[in-house]
Structure 1
Amino acid sequence: MTLLSSHGRDIAGRVALPLCLAVAFVLYTGFLDGNPGVASSAWAERPWHLFANALPGLLLASLLLVLTRRAWLSFGIAFLVQGAVLAVSAIKMKNLGSPLLPADFRMVGQLKNGGLHLLGGYLPASPLPYLAILGVVALIVLVARVEPPLFARRTHGRRLVSGLALFALIGTLAAGVPAWSAMYNKDRLGMQPWSAASNAGYNGVVTTLMQFRLQNAGKKQKADPAEAQQFLAATDAQLRQHMTSAAANARQTPDIVVIQSESFFDPAVIRGIEHEDFAPNLHRLAQHASTGQLHVPTFGGGTIRTEFEVLTGLSLRYFPTMQFPYLQMQAGVMPGMVRVLRSHGYETVAVHGNDAGFWNRTAAFKSLGFDRFVSQPDFPKGVRKDGEYMADSAMTDEIMSQLKEAGPPRFVFAISMEAHGPYDKSVNIDTKERDAIPVPEGISDDAKLQLRNYIYHMRHADAELGRLAALLRQRERPTLLLFYGDHLPALVETYDKAGFVDGKTMLTQTVPYVLIDAHDDGPAPVKADLAAWMLPGKLLEQAGIHDDPYFALTQVVGQQLASLTHAPDATEAAEDDSQSFTDTSMKNIAMLRMKRKLEPLVASYATPAAETAVRRPGETGPATESAAGAGQ
């Protein structure tokens, strides 16, 4: 009896420590998860939510316990990992107004491609957080050296079975196996798919990660060619009339320059500075150009989302799982504006003063059809920086060097860097000029500094727009210039406290675009608000290229869908049945276009055009594509 009692106490002692640590881990998760999140007191009323939020960390700790046989070590590592996830989410929430989401983990692979420098700028400047992390790591190492094993090494296969089971559970959870939806059930826990921030505020960051990971688990999107064909039949007369009207633009083939200006918008939409003119060149040029506001698919970051829409004419609204398109593109040949221009004899060049590998642009630009990619190493040595990154003036110089008066027409797509965040740094700038910039009252000194730094660089972008437009007007060759912002800058505190003159939120704000015909020999300017995916169709028609039915269709139906924004935390429903039908039909058409299966459905709209070889060495896909169906 004494022996059994001693044995029972031994087992109880071994079980008690991990159980106590597990309870502590659950409470720790709830206590830490206060940004953006749940008040600690709220967890007491929803224990199942608290457990669900802690479960992935508990599984990790259990697996480590089986492997190491040491409870303090195992839970110490799990505590550290959980804390790191919540800290990164808090940084993202502060800068972008959105918590950590599953797609963000794709960024890990970009750290080697210039991402470490770019994203590292958002980390805390104070040494205290890093000292705290080092202290925790040192404590874990110390514990690992002195903590005795909780149980024997040999367990007659029980450790192996337990380890494999835990590894399988963690693997299926990370992979988003649909069975886990029973645990993270949106009906039981609640879910706000339209707002990741609100969801994290109610369910916690970890549960939000799991729910968004499982949101489309097991669901495969398939295009419906029959519905697409039905929609094309319904819009047949309108589409043909539009293409016939566009064909009246018979002009000399112009060079085309597109500027994607980093974080460019007009700060005068912020309350308190609405009477300031921060973009005089934009406003002056817009008086005699096609211009308006642009609905973009991202906020504060995710440049390639807007970039993808502009280059392909495909709305990411119809591809909800494609958060970072260049990292998820599968096709060797991606349809879009670049390939249409190549089919019309254009040489296509991309220009970007940053690492070519970041966002996987090197591979993505090959798929999109660019002939050359001029990146940071290709710029002249000693090129000037303004702030942390290459000055917009250097980009203007490089654009002009790429344009020739003789030879084939050129398409130059340039992506600026100067106005990239974070905006709390003040290197390589004129602080006197920066400090004279007016800002709203009622925001903190840190927010004022960030806003001033942003406006300082944004005004340089505006000045370079004016300089580039003047240089293009001096050329003999006709040139089109399209300039637009990719998204609003991440100035969350300013937006929250000052607000916008239109009363809308930061996630539903638009950015400006302007399409300038440097020689005024194309169609008359038109003022209209657009979505980013509508820009390429508009640009091609201005250039006299009117034989791609898909891009023509975006112009026919675009105005009806332009206001359906698709920023991370803003999902609007269609306002009426006709809009809903158009939206659903365009989704089918976009999916067919992406898979290059749309061409048979639109072949009857093709206008006669000489077939031009558009495949370059090393590309896959057909060797020739007609101008009407290029890249489909």
Structure 2
Amino acid sequence: MLSRKAIQGRLSALLSNSRPRTYLAAFGILSAAAFALAVGVEFIQRGSFTNVFNWASANPSSFYLNVILDFFILLLIYCLLGSLMISVSVASLLLLVASLVSYYKIKLIGEPFMPWDILLKKEGMNIIPLVAQTSAYMRLGAVVLVSLACLAARLILPKLSLPLSHRALIGLFACFMLFSLSYKPALTGNLQARMGIQDINWNQSQNYELNGVTLAFAMNVKNAIVPKPEGYSQTRMEEIAADLIAKPEVEALAAVTSYPSGEKPNVIFVMNESFWDPTLLPGVTFSEDPLPTVHALQKTATAGYMLSPQFGGGTSNVEFEVLTGNSMSNLPSGSMPYQQYISRPTPSLAGFFGTQGYKSMAIHSYEGWFWNRNTVYKQLGFQSFMSKEFFTSPEYKGGFIADDEVSRAIISQVQQSEQPMFIYAVTMQNHGPYETWRYSGKPIKVEGNLTDAARDELETYVQGARDADASLKMLIDHYSASEEPTMIVFYGDHLPMLGYDYDVYRQAGFVSSGNSAEWSLEETKKMHSTPLVVWSNFGQEKKNVPLISSSFLGSYVLNELKMEMPPIFAFDYQLYGKLPGLLKGLVVDADQQLSASPPDSLLQDLQHYQELQYDTLFGKQYVQQLTGLDLIAAYPLSDFNSEFTDVRIETVEMYEADSEQLVLKIKGKNFFDGVYAIVNGVQLAPSNISSDTLEIQVPLELTNKKSSLTFQVRQINTKNIPLSESNVLEIPLDELTGPSSEERY
């Protein structure tokens, strides 16, 4: 049998006199290593080779692109280090550890490992100690096994070095390919798009699940880096701050101007999912008015249209603009700030109202993890977040929690609060797709030059819009009869997606083409304009708002409330007076004139806007410090959301017993749908839930040879991540009492 040195010697002899053989051997080893790495990285995510095979079979394009990316990573490291097997070892360690971190990051907080985790340095790496505390034997074993395989290959294979000049050229080519595949896809002819790859940037865990770790990570690179604006500096920020301080809007953080009752008003923003006025469709009629409340308020209250940066989706980007006063037009196309950029305390309406003696609360009738809201709302200064998980037995309509439930939650939270409230509520009922099964009856019938499929889809949408309008009426009716001063700001986040290629809009003649690139500026404006109503019960003057970008809406409301403004909102209000509509590719001036780009007279203002936004989101936050308006010093709050997540067990009572089980009632607080009881370490689903009582059935075998039972309540979301845990209560079996305790034995 040949020794290791003999094998290595023969291979060296075979390759030493033939450079083509050396190149072919290096190419073959790197290709095999790339394939093995793609499998290994996904094995860590998916837990078995069978699952990896099933994924690769179902998504061959994604798998091939993962292999290609791994190949060029290996090639680049090889060109840098010069030793083939050392390069394979280093690349394997980097990719497999990144995959391991991503796997446990998903398990622990529901989000994968992404490029901005590296850019966040310490903050992004906080997940690593958590990974170290978990059991990861199989996946760590995979990393160790690959490392040992690389070491064994290094002992057998020759070094396979290439001349430095060749390595430099090949390394540049590898850099180009990695740059183009991750940052500038157009350089390789948009290869991902041509292969049918979908970048699911609104749901990163699904993105990684469908596309694979390496490819999904690479597709996120282009949005991870926001270049510093030319001219951004402390000196420039001092100039902008001085200009803002000179304006009366930001002389100080003054209290809200007094209102007739002497109280600060509640300020309630309701961003209604896909809310739009379908009666604007030409040639389409409805058997009754789907929006009677909004149409009535347009005649009596401040009303108009909000220019949204989105169409058909991307709700969180609209939130981002409204809450922070920043603009998507200053960020890379495809950006999702909630996923990518809100990683530190960031000035927002929520934080500002908190400084004014308000309680700031977000309400959303869907999962709290969606769009990363659980994390983002902390950084924006909210005190609490009532997501779907904290609704108790809500009514559902059309497959989602009903809009009426959100209105009830708003009214209930305001009634419970001793402080005036700032509420940012986001509904979900009228989210697409608008399939016919969603409503059993559709009282509003649609007529027009539409296909049956288009008519059915529009009728489903109209039913949801009608319910949204009714939910607004519930709020208006309640606060019209209330002596508590209240302002309600109601608007849609974006227009609904009604069919592929804007099918319903095209058939109705609302737009001329299924290709948005062919729309006129007027059509683009229409497809991004949602109804806006600003109503109050304290005698607010009616105003007409022809159009206002969502990034300027916060400043508009602060001005209506006669409140002093933080820097970004003060700047917004100044810019709104000159340029009320601002999107990429569409600007609307104060005279409602449309153009594809801003006039030269406003270029400096927009440059300052971009610099101020960069300073707020990514820079040193000079303006916050220079104006003395440090709104972010107090948050995120250490007790964020404690009013919902502070779960307590107070007592446990026997309800009944038989020969197989004990039926117990756990009394306490903050019990919501999705909670489980942990009894002696065993998770049990409750048979009945109310806000203060859980009824559970405990199998008698859990009590065998036990003198006591331990109880804990835990709430878990749909990603199987704990939202809250109660205290642990231990009760001796002979002390369990209740209405039927005598039946226990």
The answer to whether the superposition gives a TM-score over 0.5 is: yes
User: What is the rounded CA distance, in whole Å, between the counterparts of 1:269 and 1:425 in structure 2?
Assistant: 22
Task: Name the aligned partner's letter for residue 371 of structure 1.
Answer: Q
Tell me what 1:533 maps to: 551
SS where residue 314 of structure 1 aligns?
coil
Amino acid across the alignment from 2:305: Q
Cα distance in 1, alignment partners of residues 553 and 491 from structure 2 = 10
8 Å CA contact 1:298, 1:566 repeated in 2: no
Q: Tell me: CA distance 1:265–1:617, structure 2 relative to 1, closer, same or farther (3 Å).
A: closer
3-state secondary structure, aligned to 1:271: coil
Q: 1:341 aligns with which of 330, 353, 374?
A: 353
TM-score by length of 1: 0.63
Counterpart of 1:618 in structure 2 is 638
Deviation at 1:76, TM superposition (A): 9.9
Change (3 A) 1:240 1:506: closer
Find the partner of 1:306 among 302, 314, 318.
318
List per-residue Cα deviations over 1:346-388 (Å, max 9, x = no partner): 012222222222222222222212222222232232x211110
1:32-431 correspondence to structure 2 within 5 Å: 80-82=58-60, 180-181=178-179, 205=196, 220-221=227-228, 223-231=232-240, 239-240=247-248, 250-251=258-259, 252=262, 253-273=264-284, 277-320=289-332, 323-381=335-393, 383-404=394-415, 407-427=418-438, 429-431=439-441
Match of 2:568 in 1: 550
Letter aligned with residue 576 of structure 1: P
Distance 2:223 2:340 in 1: 16
Q: How big is each residue's C-alpha offset from its partner over 1:442-477, in whole Å with a ceiling of 9 and x where there is no partner?
A: 4452x3322211111011101211221111111111
Determine whether 1:484 maps to 2:501.
no
Distance (Å, rounded) in 2 between the aligned partners of 1:387 and 1:159: 65
Q: Which residue of 2 aligns with 1:511?
A: 530
Q: How many residues align?
A: 476
Aligned residue type for 1:361? R
Change in CA separation of 1:234 and 1:451 when aligned onto 2, cut-off 3 Å: same
User: Which of the two has greater helix per residue?
Assistant: 1
Instruction: Say if 1:178 and 1:217, in contact at 8 Å, map to a contact too.
Output: no
Identity value in percent: 25
Inter-partner Cα distance in structure 2 for 1:456 and 1:74: 43
> 613, 625, 633: which one pairs with 1:590?
613
> Contact between 2:182 and 2:222, CA under 8 Å: does it hold in 1?
no
Counterpart CA distance in 2 for 1:114 and 1:386 is: 27
Structure 1 residue 602 corresponds to structure 2 residue 627: yes
Secondary structure of the corresponding residue to residue 584 of structure 1 = helix
- What SS class does the counterpart of residue 412 from structure 1 fall into? strand
> Which blocks of at least 5 consecutive residues in structure 2 are unaligned?
1-30, 42-50, 65-101, 112-151, 162-170, 200-214, 512-519, 589-593, 641-745
Give the direction of change, closer, same or farther, for the CA distance of 1:453–1:159 in structure 2 (3 Å limit): farther
Task: Look up the match of 1:125.
Answer: none
CA shift for structure 1 position 437: 2.2
8 Å CA contact 1:295–1:530 kept in 2: the answer is yes
Larger Rg: 2
The answer to whether structure 1 residue 460 and structure 2 residue 485 are counterparts is no
Q: 8 Å contact 2:446–2:455 — kept in the other structure?
A: no
What is the alpha-carbon distance in structure 1 between the residues aligned to residue 39 and residue 472 of structure 2?
60
- Structure 1 pair 577–449 and aligned structure 2 pair: CA distance change class (3 A): same
| Structure 2 CA distance for aligned equivalents of residues 425 and 541 of structure 1 | 43
Q: Which amino acid aligns with 2:59?
A: V
CA separation in 2, counterparts of 1:217 and 1:414?
Answer: 28
Report the CA distance between 1:441 and its aligned residue. Answer: 2.0
In the alignment, residue 278 of structure 1 is paired with which amino acid?
P
1:82–1:303 Cα change, 3 Å? same
| Higher RCO (CA 8 Å, separation ≥ 6 residues) | 1
CA distance in 1, matches of 2:198, 2:306: 34
Q: Cα 1:185–1:507, aligned 2, differ >3 Å: closer, same or farther?
A: farther
Q: Give distance in 1, aligned partners of 2:386 and 2:183.
A: 48
User: Contact 1:177 / 1:217 at 8 angstroms: preserved in 2?
Assistant: no
C-alpha distance in 2 between matches for 1:80 and 1:58: 21
Report deviation, 1:561.
3.7
Distance 1:448 1:84, change over 3 A: farther
With over 3 angstroms needed to count, the CA separation of the structure-2 counterparts of 1:600 and 1:452, relative to structure 1, is same
The amino acid that maps onto 1:618 is S
3-state DSSP class of the match of 1:299? coil
On the 8 A contact 1:263/1:486 being kept in 2, the answer is yes
Q: Distance in 1 between matches of 2:559 and 2:492?
A: 21
* Pair 1:441 & 2:449 matched: yes
User: Shift in Å at residue 396 of structure 1?
Assistant: 1.3
From the superposition, tell whether residues 373 and 218 of structure 1 become closer, same or farther in structure 2 (CA, over 3 Å).
closer
Could you give the per-residue CA deviations for residues 596-631 of structure 1, whole angstroms, max 9, x where no partner exists?
33124434xx7xx9x9995575279xxxxxxxxxxx
Query: Residue deviations 1:189-213, cap 9 Å, x none?
Result: 587xxxxxxx789966559999976
The answer to whether the 8 A contact 2:267-2:486 is kept is yes
Matching residue of 1:577: 600
Query: CA 1:612 to 1:304, structure 2 compared with 1: closer, same or farther past 3 Å?
Result: closer
Pairwise CA distance, 1:573: 5.3
Q: For residue 254 of structure 1, report the CA deviation from its aligned partner.
A: 0.4
Letter in 2 for 1:598: V
Alignment-mate amino acid for residue 354 of structure 2: R
Return the TM-score normalized by structure 2.
Answer: 0.54
Mean alpha-carbon deviation: is it higher for 570-579 or for 260-269?
570-579
Task: Provide the C-alpha distance between the structure 1 equivalents of 2:257 and 2:307, rounded to a whole number of angstroms.
Answer: 27
Which AA in structure 2 matches 1:602? Answer: T
- When residues 558 and 300 of structure 1 are mapped into structure 2, their CA distance, relative to the original with a 3 A threshold, is same
1:285 aligned counterpart, secondary structure: helix
Q: How has the CA–CA distance of structure 1 residues 114 and 328 changed in structure 2, closer, same or farther, with 3 Å as cutoff?
A: closer
Q: State the shift of 1:341 in Å.
A: 0.6
Q: CA deviation at 1:416?
A: 0.8
Give the Cα–Cα distance (whole angstroms) in 2 for the partners of residues 181 and 300 of structure 1: 30
Q: Deviations over 1:239-289 (max 9, x none)?
A: 337979x99954341011111101101112333327884322112112222
Q: CA 1:232–1:204 in 2, change beyond 3 Å: closer, same or farther?
A: farther
- Decide which moves more: 557-566 or 222-231: 222-231
Aligned to 1:32: none
Aligned to 1:8: none
8 Å CA contact 1:424–1:450 kept in 2: the answer is: yes
CA distance in 2, matches of 1:496, 1:109: 44
What is the letter of the counterpart of residue 518 of structure 1? N
Contact 2:397 2:429 in 1 (8 A): yes
Q: Secondary structure at the match of 1:426?
A: helix
SS at match of 2:313: coil
Secondary structure of 1:504's aligned partner: helix
What is the identity, as a one-letter code, of the residue corresponding to 1:366?
A: K
Q: Is this contact kept in 2: 1:262–1:416, CA < 8 A? A: yes
The structure-2 alpha-carbon separation of the partners of 1:457 and 1:179, relative to structure 1 and needing over 3 Å to count, comes to same
Q: Say if 2:238 and 2:623, in contact at 8 Å, map to a contact too.
A: no
**Which of the pair is proportionally richer in strand?**
2
Residue aligned with 2:360, SS? strand
Deviations 1:574-593 (A, max 9, x none): 33212222111101011222
Q: Deviations 1:303-351 (Å, cap 9, x if unpaired)?
A: 1111121111111222327722222245442211011111110012222
1:530 counterpart SS class: strand
Match of 1:563 among 560, 576, 581: 581
- Partner Cα distance (2:375, 2:257) in 1: 35
